[in-house]
Structure 1
Amino acid sequence: MSSQKSYHTKATGDAAVTVANHLAETSLKLYGSCFCPFVQRVWIALEAKEMPYQYIEVDPYEKPQSLLEVNPRGLVPALRHGDWGCYESNILMEYLEDLKGGTPLLPDDPKTRAHCRLWADHINRNVVPGFYRLLQEQDPDKQVEHAMELRKAFDTLIKAADAKGPFFLGPDISFVDVQAAPWVIRLRRVMKPYRGWPDAEDGTRWAEWVNAIDSNKHVQATTSTDELYLDSYARYAENRPNTSQVANAINSGRGLP
């Protein structure tokens, strides 16, 4: 792949339309960047919950002061709600649930809520770092090893899902699906062209889940064109120095920032 590919700073396709529809000033503001999967999970949640929000598109490598006031580290996603701000995608998704606005993504039953949080934790401990380990690995033999590890992490998640589906808890998208969705849609758009990730096997529960996520209207509304992801993730696939704090953490064996 060409080393000249660079990350994009503006959403494209359906995501650009969604950005344009959320430029008006509101008390709830999401700071995001178009290629960041951590941003997308919060963005999907906002769309699924149909909550009014303002989307503020930023270049994560050129951090505006308004973002730094919310998150001094300058990382996205960040959320400002009135005079209060917070960051970290998992925390923000929980916060949106606590607001009790719009369609809930977590069920009412405490045991099922705990079940969802357990598998969201699995995604963050295994799927997300596994994705970056595979994408950044330059050794072909180790790529095979990391691909097997990532598929195992996904398979473990699918085994815990509702048998009928198509989503994790059944017919509707919910918290666990949203947690994983940005990396699921990047399998075809990023991992397939850069690491030969295979398409989901027709007729499997895995394929049913992948297709349900990919075709969900809230996921689609926050997804840019394929070219944006192909270009923006070239730096990860080539493991360029200082690509991001996430990439640096993977390379050093540390936990994700």
Structure 2
Amino acid sequence: MDANQNNDPTKKTYHKRATGKALETVEKHSQDHELKLFGSCFCPFVQRVWISLEMKGLDYQYIEVDPYKKPQQLLEVNPRGLVPALRHGDWGCYESTVLMEYLEDLQMGEALLPSVPKLRAHSRLWSDHVNRHIVPGFYRYLQAQDEKSQIEHGEELKEQISKLVDAADKSGPFFLGSKMTFVDVQMAPWVVRLRKVLHPYRGWPDPDPTSRWAAWVDAIEQDHAVRATTSTDALYIDSYERYFVRV
């Protein structure tokens, strides 16, 4: 969990083990390796880095940690005890976007940032939009308890998503065109949670099937790396229930 995700461990328990396809991926990457991802199965910030590793086809070790008990091996990488955290040999770092950029800088596996400088800047600009506006908007809407606030924050979230869609390649289905790249990975965990969390808890609507947004959502949800790092619906329903009441 990056720093802007607020969690209350005193409420309903949370999952400590991935399920479904994500569990299969955990088991494939359980052996010791110099590149280690410390994560929690319900955390969208972890999923960003995890998707990047899977897309790049890198060898790594996935270590599920309880973020509220903060194991020593995690604290050695991030003294705040937050996930995601990455250890590469004797070096470690944290914060999901920083870790994604580090993986790019390794120049190993498939590049998620384009080689053209203008497109790289474009990708970074809209990745910043995701982090500054869409992610906080998601949590404001998620945690709003009264109907007025839910309507207000729901409209704000739709507006920020619309801005991102307007900036995307017109044909798609991904942000820059036919391939999933950096911005798509930044956005993917929240696309997953729109359907698995906001839909059942807040009535978030399915996209218009003829829209550019629908094509993007479908492409993200069907991507092999996204599917490989996504647990079953029940995990997300249970994990987020402690934050708010069902409408």
TM-score (norm 1): 0.90
2:193 is matched with 186
1:125 is matched with 132
Indicate yes or no: 2:174 matched with 1:167. yes
SS at match of 1:55: strand
Q: Does the aligned pair in 1 maintain the 2:42–2:239 contact within 8 Å?
A: yes
Partner amino acid for 1:83? D
Partner amino acid for 2:37? L
2:214 is matched with 207
Residue by residue over 1:52-84, the C-alpha shift from the partner in whole angstroms, topping out at 9 and shown as x without a partner, is 110001111111100000000000000000000
2:147 is matched with 140
SS at match of 1:233: helix
**1:237: Cα distance to partner?**
2.4
Gaps of 5+ in 2: 1-9
CA distance in 2, matches of 1:151, 1:123: 12
Indicate yes or no: 2:40 matched with 1:33. yes
SS at match of 2:62: strand
Q: How many residues align?
A: 237
Q: Does the aligned pair in 1 maintain the 2:85–2:92 contact within 8 Å?
A: yes
Determine which of 18, 40, 50 is the counterpart of 1:43: 50
SS at match of 1:163: coil
CA distance in 1, matches of 2:179, 2:243: 33
Q: Does the aligned pair in 2 maintain the 1:6–1:234 contact within 8 Å?
A: no
Residue by residue over 1:158-211, the C-alpha shift from the partner in whole angstroms, topping out at 9 and shown as x without a partner, is 000001100001111100000000001100100011111001111100100011
**1:235: Cα distance to partner?**
1.6
2:3 is matched with none
Q: Does the aligned pair in 1 maintain the 2:173–2:215 contact within 8 Å?
A: yes
1:102 is matched with 109
Determine which of 22, 28, 31 is the counterpart of 2:29: 22
SS at match of 2:242: helix
CA distance in 1, matches of 2:182, 2:162: 18
Gaps of 5+ in 1: 240-257
Q: Does the aligned pair in 1 maintain the 2:175–2:183 contact within 8 Å?
A: yes
Q: Does the aligned pair in 2 maintain the 1:78–1:88 contact within 8 Å?
A: yes
CA distance in 2, matches of 1:183, 1:56: 22
CA distance in 1, matches of 2:156, 2:29: 38
TM-score (norm 2): 0.94
CA distance in 1, matches of 2:64, 2:178: 32
C-alpha RMSD of matched pairs (Å)? 1.3
**1:25: Cα distance to partner?**
1.1
